[in-house]
Structure 1
Amino acid sequence: MTRTDKLAYSLHRISGLVGGLFLLMLSLTGCILLFDNAIDGWLNPSIVTVAAPANGGRQPYDAAVQTLQKQFPNAQLRNLILYPGATNRALRADLNEGRERLWAYVDPYTGRFLGQRNMQNAFVRQVRNLHEHLLAPPIGDWVLLLVGICLVTSVLTGTWYYRKSLLSVFSIGVRWNKPKRIVYGDLHKYLGVAALLFLLIMGATGTFFHWEKTVDRLFGEERPRGPRPEPVALKLNTSVDALLAKSATTVPGFVAEVISFPDGPDGPLVVRGNGADANPFYGKFTAATEFDPNTGELTKVFNANEADAEYKFEHINEELHYGRFGGLISKTIYFILSLAMTIVTATGLLIWWTKRR
């Protein structure tokens, strides 16, 4: 074994141990986040899911806005999630009521208010906060930056160390009849090679995200800080449905996904979604239209295909990390690979443990 190989093995072992338990958590929470909407529906069927009528006709979205205004007369309506492709999904509104963030639900077919809950207490929200911040930003962001670097280091050093026998793992397979230490080793190498590209993508994109949240913010341009403004109740002088119709005629093939309401008296109303030319690697929403909420005048049209390189790079990283770019197919593949990542991490820790005994 050369000195370089010894160094690579040492770095592989150290980086795996440092990031090991965190990587187990990240791979498991990542599996949940791949199907967060479905899981949220299973956990909260009485307010999240609805029965679509035979005719499938939705009420105007203005009716849903009016329902929310009556139910929460003093709250700030931030977003209305439309779920256009899910016939059994309730509309979800994000609101600020005082200092409390709420998710409120309206039946899109009847306009009936279904219920509300604290956003921060939602299971899928807590899982996302754990996955992205360890429940403790900004300290958690720094820890996850280190974990991302450890994963990249572990993948690269492991690839280097086993470079001469990398593909032989598929012919050897997993020798289940051998002692546990050998079984752990075979599983670790077999799944590590099978999921090699996925592990590298997860490490690189995760490192990029937390580099932005930590190092960039620490040494970048200082962002203005101040007290959070008090929520302002929504007062619209124009029809939401009219703005959605105008968006559909402005952007070819436009399908609206989210309506973002003004966050202040002079803020725009933004309709986000995807047009016919949507590139799934450029984010969940690749098109948007902005309106003056008082006059209904169209003030801006956004198309991700025309965005700058920085925007595209950031969103490509996000889609590669979360596996949304291919719909259910890519999410299923990512789920399987995330389970492989869990086993690779667990067996690496078990190999270290058995060698200590």
Structure 2
Amino acid sequence: MAKSRSVVWPQKKQWLDWHSLLGITTGLMMFIICWSGTFATISLELDWLLNSDIRSNATQVDNTDLLAAYQAVQRTSPAAQIIRIDELASANYSLSVLYKSEQGALTHAFFDPHSQRLSGTTSFLTVSRFFRDFHMSLFGFYGIGKYLVCIFAVSLMASLISILFFYKPTLKRFFEFPATSSTRAFWGSLHRLLGLWSIWFLLVIGITGVWYLFEQTRNDILDGRFSYTDTFSNAVYQLPEPAAGMALSLQQLTLAAQNAMPELDIKEITLNRGGYVYFAGQTDSSLLVRNRANKIYIEPSTGNATYVQRATDLPAYWYWSNMADPLHFGNFGGWITKTLWVIFGLLLSFLSLSGSWMYIKRLAGRPQRINRKLLKNTIVVSLLIGGLTLVMGALRINAMLPVVNGQRIIEIPMPVATFLLLWTLITGIICLVWGRWLLRASLPTN
């Protein structure tokens, strides 16, 4: 008779070893991703702060302001190909009109709803665009950037699970202040305390990050489905091609959208989405979803609403798909949630670095336990990826600049350019210094 085999559960010490190994091998890249994500959370606010053209004294914005922004760009740049009109955040932001100039350059025009005038233009590169591209895909990173970023969400979840099995949280431990018997004891206690208070945030970021990995994998490798209904082939239901031509004015088409979904607060108008004029926004009945969860496709030649989507009518899978972004970036509750996400984003950035340093210091007296070659290779690879990301970023920024008479012209406000350069420089210095500290800390002590 065959003997039954019992499942061997990892011992408590092994969970810590796995957690520490993850910290050493992924800590530096995890810092880069979390650090950039923290700034991505408040990137619109940084744009508002650094570019005076985006500020407005308006107290409210409605559909007539979106139409006025469209008409203002039409008057000042009649040869421009207007792509999209966006309400950026709240009423004290100018509206953004994205268009392609006569020279073919993507440009943002900002329309102040208070003065009803264009307040300025800038190239496609903004603080928001920079951090979105950096955090989402490391500026593309040769086609694998999004996978590279999302894989670290798996590492984040594995790190969280391993430490929870090793260090089971109790209510008392949430209020244990860091020990001060030694420097290493203090930082170790602080790391554990901050980690405990960040569990909820780690879960939110980890789960949504793993979801992004699944979404991208499904689109690229599985059944190619990335949205519920759209004009593209990767939608579950692809809309038919509309009749050609835009016989009706944007004002008439907006009125048609309002009639089709009276409760929709329009936040975005796209002039050509697969031939349709596309409206997206928010409703009072839809909670924690991005704008495109509620959308309308209007046929431009007839004004007919070919498709109307309310978030509340979506299947659970696709409703969750539209919840991931607001949860990941905390932009669903105004300044309160954004402040929380920034605070805990900075904590997560700190935890990414402090854990590996403490583990190495703890083992420095036992050099046989430290694989310095693995450590060195990990640091070099992380710095190499970071460096190549900056190269990709420089190429992407150059491509975003407008072309006039065959030459690229820098149309970025000086405060924006200065901030992005300083952020990049500081991030690079942190990574280099931290990598050097880790290698020095791994040296055996006498």
What interval of TM-score do these two structures reach, taking the shorter chain for normalisation? Answer: 0.7 to 0.9
Shift in Å at residue 156 of structure 1?
Answer: 0.3
Q: Which amino acid aligns with 1:217?
A: D
Shift in Å at residue 6 of structure 1?
Answer: 3.2
| Aligned with residue 55 of structure 2, among 49, 57, 61 | 49
Distance 2:253 2:47 in 1: 29
Task: Show CA shifts across 1:306-340 (max 9, x none).
Answer: 01232112122332212223333222222222222
Shift in Å at residue 214 of structure 1?
Answer: 4.3
Note if 1:243 corresponds to 2:253: yes
Distance 2:63 2:206 in 1: 43
Shift in Å at residue 56 of structure 1?
Answer: 8.8
Note if 1:169 corresponds to 2:173: yes
> 1:260 matched to which residue of 2?
270
| Aligned with residue 180 of structure 1, among 159, 183, 192 | 183
> 2:392 matched to which residue of 1?
none
Note if 1:126 corresponds to 2:141: no
Q: Which amino acid aligns with 1:269?
A: V
Q: Which amino acid aligns with 2:350?
A: I
> 2:163 matched to which residue of 1?
158
Distance 1:289 1:224 in 2: 18
| Aligned with residue 285 of structure 2, among 250, 267, 277 | 277
Note if 1:114 corresponds to 2:122: no
Mapped contact 1:57–1:109 kept (Cα < 8 A): no
| Aligned with residue 326 of structure 1, among 315, 320, 333 | 333
User: Could you say if the C-alpha distance between residues 256 and 84 of structure 1 is closer, same or farther in structure 2, counting changes exceeding 3 Å?
Assistant: farther
**Other structure's SS at 2:267 match:** strand
**Two-structure CA RMSD over aligned residues (Å):** 3.0
**Other structure's SS at 1:134 match:** helix
Note if 1:203 corresponds to 2:209: no
Note if 1:212 corresponds to 2:215: yes
User: Could you say if the C-alpha distance between residues 326 and 113 of structure 1 is closer, same or farther in structure 2, counting changes exceeding 3 Å?
Assistant: closer
Aligned residue pairs, count:
339
Farther off after superposition, 205-214 or 181-190:
205-214
Shift in Å at residue 268 of structure 1?
Answer: 1.0
Farther off after superposition, 246-255 or 33-42:
246-255
User: Could you say if the C-alpha distance between residues 209 and 296 of structure 1 is closer, same or farther in structure 2, counting changes exceeding 3 Å?
Assistant: same
Distance 1:136 1:56 in 2: 35
**Other structure's SS at 1:154 match:** helix
Distance 1:286 1:89 in 2: 22
State how 1:75-90 maps to structure 2 within 5 Å: 75-83=80-88, 85-86=90-91, 88-90=92-94
Mapped contact 1:252–1:275 kept (Cα < 8 A): no
Distance 2:145 2:325 in 1: 19
Distance 1:295 1:43 in 2: 42
Note if 1:349 corresponds to 2:351: no
Distance 1:271 1:3 in 2: 53
> 1:229 matched to which residue of 2?
none
Shift in Å at residue 166 of structure 1?
Answer: 4.6
Distance 1:57 1:295 in 2: 24
Note if 1:67 corresponds to 2:75: no
Farther off after superposition, 75-84 or 255-264:
75-84
State how 1:291-330 maps to structure 2 within 5 Å: 291-330=298-337
Q: Which amino acid aligns with 1:23?
A: M
> 2:295 matched to which residue of 1?
288
> 2:416 matched to which residue of 1?
none
Note if 1:92 corresponds to 2:92: no
Note if 1:135 corresponds to 2:143: no
**Other structure's SS at 1:262 match:** strand
Mapped contact 2:63–2:266 kept (Cα < 8 A): no
Q: Which amino acid aligns with 1:193?
A: L
Farther off after superposition, 294-303 or 34-43:
294-303
TM-score, reference length from structure 2 = 0.68
Mapped contact 1:254–1:274 kept (Cα < 8 A): yes
Distance 1:16 1:298 in 2: 52
Shift in Å at residue 15 of structure 1?
Answer: 1.4
> 1:232 matched to which residue of 2?
none
User: Could you say if the C-alpha distance between residues 170 and 106 of structure 1 is closer, same or farther in structure 2, counting changes exceeding 3 Å?
Assistant: closer
Shift in Å at residue 263 of structure 1?
Answer: 4.3
User: Could you say if the C-alpha distance between residues 44 and 210 of structure 1 is closer, same or farther in structure 2, counting changes exceeding 3 Å?
Assistant: same
Q: Please, which runs of 5 or more residues in structure 1 have no aligned partner?
A: 226-234
TM-score, reference length from structure 1 = 0.83
> 2:4 matched to which residue of 1?
none
Distance 2:137 2:163 in 1: 27
Distance 2:270 2:321 in 1: 21
Distance 1:241 1:178 in 2: 70
Q: Which amino acid aligns with 1:260?
A: T
Distance 2:310 2:299 in 1: 19
Q: Which amino acid aligns with 1:102?
A: T
Q: Which amino acid aligns with 1:291?
A: I
